[in-house]
């Protein structure tokens, strides 16, 4: 591949991760306005998340098979178009049932984008590059709250935020379509020297699922993304509805949370070759637990806000580092399936755990958010240590650099 085409390809990958983050960062801040406009209880968010999860899980699980039949570029173009249609539908529909149904289409598109890009990144780029790619997810998630907060402060309806993001997704889908052949060319610059290819040697889904290390990895991804999403989805409601923090301040701190996630991934992309991955991720998970305690006990003061920021900063290297080291843990034949299954587990956690926190909040009050995040962080640490004990640690450390 010519260097110019390669640079444009990498730029599209960065834009794609931004597009994945935009709706995730937007929803947590938009939800109080959405629930009010449809006259819904606070835990009704769970219905939307479950439908989103169903679509996301389906496309993630079959991503390995899809990539064996169509190019990454074609898959990304179609998926981005589906996401655009769903987000514009969110903005247009006056019916909650239709919005929930569109959640499945949004999940189908986002899941295919996520699994396709992560499989490509895990098999072509180093852990450093993957961390930087995922930093752009955090950038998108940081921009989302800024957009909706600006709309709220300007007196505009929440729907305009989804129009803006839906139009951006449409433009990105067109870019993917025009560049669809680039993804199948041989990469001459920036490729990992030891990058495995996704070829006919890909193992069956059943054989991949027979590996015990796969199931430990699924548990880690499930809990981690549940923490990341729950903090992003419920912090704004906790601060504004339970602790009476002004919406403008709560919106800013929601953006700070995602901004810290972005900054942490940029930083971890620099240090990942210096600090062993296992030690870095263990420290990160412990820091997530500390941030949850600060949110739990900090009330409406700065300690609680800093706890939220610490969760974002500490979460940064977990997902991309584990994705980047998947080929080392599972081997070339299982890499594509493994990434798809991990993305599927991640979206289950991203949707089901925040929904569970919402149900607890309705029964016990929003102050349950902090304790719930702490319990999840402790569980994450336990499963992560079990995963590291069962996998080829030396190989994983070698692939990180």
Q: What is the pLDDT of residue 198?
A: 44
Helix (H) or strand (E) segment spanning residue 190: none
C-alpha pair distances (Å), 238 with each of 35, 77, 144, 186, 235: 15, 37, 18, 49, 5
pLDDT tier for residue 184 given thresholds of 50, 70 and 90: low
DSSP letter assigned to residue 238: I
Mean pLDDT to the nearest integer, 186-212: 56
pLDDT (tens digit per residue) in 308-364: 999 999 998 888 888 877 777 777 677 767 777 887 788 788 878 998 998 999 889
Q: What is the pLDDT of residue 163?
A: 93
More confidently predicted of 28 and 78 = 78
Q: What is the pLDDT of residue 105?
A: 92
Q: What is the mean pLDDT of the chain?
A: 81
401, pLDDT greater than 80? no
Lowest mean pLDDT among 104-108, 266-270, 298-302: 266-270
Q: What is the pLDDT of residue 122?
A: 67
Q: What is the pLDDT of residue 222?
A: 94
Q: What is the pLDDT of residue 178?
A: 84
305, pLDDT greater than 90? yes
**pTM of the full structure:** 0.69
- Max mean pLDDT among 190-194, 202-206, 368-372 falls in 368-372
Side-chain-facing half-sphere of 115: CA atoms under 13 Å? 34
102, pLDDT greater than 80? yes
82, pLDDT greater than 70? yes
Q: What is the pLDDT of residue 2?
A: 58
Burial label for 66, CB within 10 Å (0-12, 13-18, 19+), is buried
Task: Of 87, 66, 61, give the one whose Cα is nearest residue 160.
Answer: 87
Q: CA 369 to CA 237: how far, in whole Å?
A: 10
Q: CA 47 to CA 26: how far, in whole Å?
A: 17
Using a pLDDT cut of 90, give the percent of the chain over it. Answer: 28
276, pLDDT greater than 50? yes
- Beta carbons within 8 Å of 168's beta carbon, 6+ residues apart: 19, 22
129, pLDDT greater than 50? yes
pLDDT tier for residue 392 given thresholds of 50, 70 and 90: low
Could you tell me the domains of the chain?
A: 3-183+205-400 (1.20.1250.20)
Lowest mean pLDDT among 45-49, 245-249, 391-395: 391-395
Lowest mean pLDDT among 180-184, 192-196, 307-311, 351-355: 192-196
Q: What is the pLDDT of residue 352?
A: 85
- For the chain, what's the residue count? 401
Mean pLDDT to the nearest integer, 129-133: 73
């Amino acid at each position: 591949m010519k260097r110019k085409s390669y640079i444009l390809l990498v730029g599209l990958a960065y834009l794609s991760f931004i597009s994945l983050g935009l709706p995730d960062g937007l929803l947590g801040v938009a939800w109080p306005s959405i629930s009010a406009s449809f006259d819904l209880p606070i835990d009704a968010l769970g219905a939307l998340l479950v439908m989103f999860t169903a679509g996301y899980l389906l496309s993630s699980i079959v991503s390995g098979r899809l990539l064996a039949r169509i190019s990454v570029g074609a898959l990304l173009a179609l998926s981005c178009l589906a996401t655009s249609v769903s987000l514009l539908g969110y903005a247009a529909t006056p019916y909650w049932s239709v919005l929930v149904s569109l959640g499945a289409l949004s999940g189908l598109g986002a899941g295919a984008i996520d699994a396709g890009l992560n499989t490509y990144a895990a098999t072509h780029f180093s852990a450093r590059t993957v961390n930087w790619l995922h930093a752009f997810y955090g950038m998108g998630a940081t921009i989302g709250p800024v957009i909706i907060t600006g709309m709220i402060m300007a007196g505009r309806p929440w729907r305009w935020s989804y129009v803006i993001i839906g139009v951006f997704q449409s433009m990105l889908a067109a870019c993917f379509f025009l560049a669809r052949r680039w993804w199948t060319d041989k990469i001459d610059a920036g490729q990992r020297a030891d990058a495995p290819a996704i070829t006919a040697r890909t193992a069956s889904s059943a054989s991949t699922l027979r590996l015990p290390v796969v199931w430990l990895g699924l548990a880690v991804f499930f809990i981690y993304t549940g923490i990341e999403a729950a903090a992003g989805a419920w912090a704004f409601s906790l601060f504004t509805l339970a602790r009476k923090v002004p919406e403008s301040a709560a919106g800013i701190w929601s953006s700070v949370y995602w901004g810290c996630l972005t900054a942490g991934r940029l930083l971890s992309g620099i240090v990942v070759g210096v600090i062993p991955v296992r030690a870095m991720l263990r420290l990160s998970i412990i820091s997530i637990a500390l941030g949850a305690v600060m949110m739990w006990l900090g009330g409406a003061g700065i300690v609680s806000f800093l706890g939220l920021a610490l969760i974002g900063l500490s979460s940064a290297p977990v997902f991309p580092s584990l994705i980047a080291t998947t080929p080392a843990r599972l081997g070339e034949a299982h890499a594509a399936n493994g990434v798809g299954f991990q993305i599927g587990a991640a979206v289950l956690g991203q949707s089901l755990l925040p929904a569970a926190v919402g149900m607890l909040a309705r029964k016990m009050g929003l102050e349950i958010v902090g304790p719930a995040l702490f319990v999840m962080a402790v569980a994450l640490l336990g499963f992560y240590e079990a995963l590291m004990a069962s996998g080829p640690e030396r190989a994983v450390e070698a692939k990180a650099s």
